[in-house]
């Protein structure tokens, strides 16, 4: 009977999804117990790609929410908030004002 080829990256992703804070050595040993031999470099690469995917999704979500709010240029909004913070006496004071308004 032929051996089935396992996708090592997929096995690493599955393990990291269930145990995201696991050190690389532990990932390698846990997969070795399942009979999957992986290298340190592959684990590091897979972790980095997973993080990049999350960051990309965050950026896309932020752009979508800005577009739905009617903000054409987020840089202009940041500059407006910055000037408002200067008027309020600093970013800490502006944050305190926003916290009071949020209550």
pLDDT per residue as tens digits for the range 5-39: 779 999 999 999 999 899 999 999 999 999 999 99
- How confident is the model at residue 39, as a pLDDT? 95
For residue 88, what are its two tokens?
A: 């309020």
Q: Report yes or no: 103 and 95 within 8 Å, Cβ to Cβ.
A: no
Tens of pLDDT, residue by residue over 84-98, are 999 999 999 999 999
Contacts of 94 (CB under 8 A, 6+ apart): 81, 84, 85, 88
User: What are the tokens at 32?
Assistant: 């070795």
Query: At 1, is the pLDDT very low, low, confident or very high (cuts 50, 70, 90)?
Result: low
- Residue 2 banded pLDDT, cuts 50, 70, 90: low
Angle at 8 between CA 13 and CA 57, to 5 degrees: 30
Contact 61, 70 (CB under 8 A): no
């Amino acid at each position: 009977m032929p051996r089935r080829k396992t996708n090592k990256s997929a096995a690493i992703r599955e393990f990291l999804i269930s145990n995201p804070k696991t050190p690389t050595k532990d990932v390698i040993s846990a997969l070795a117990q399942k009979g999957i031999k992986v290298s340190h470099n592959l684990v590091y690469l897979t972790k980095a790609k997973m993080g990049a995917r999350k960051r990309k999704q965050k950026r896309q979500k932020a752009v979508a929410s800005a577009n739905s709010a009617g903000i054409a240029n987020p840089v202009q909004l940041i500059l407006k908030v910055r000037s408002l913070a200067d008027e309020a006496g600093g970013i800490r004071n502006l944050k305190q004002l926003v916290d009071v308004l949020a209550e």
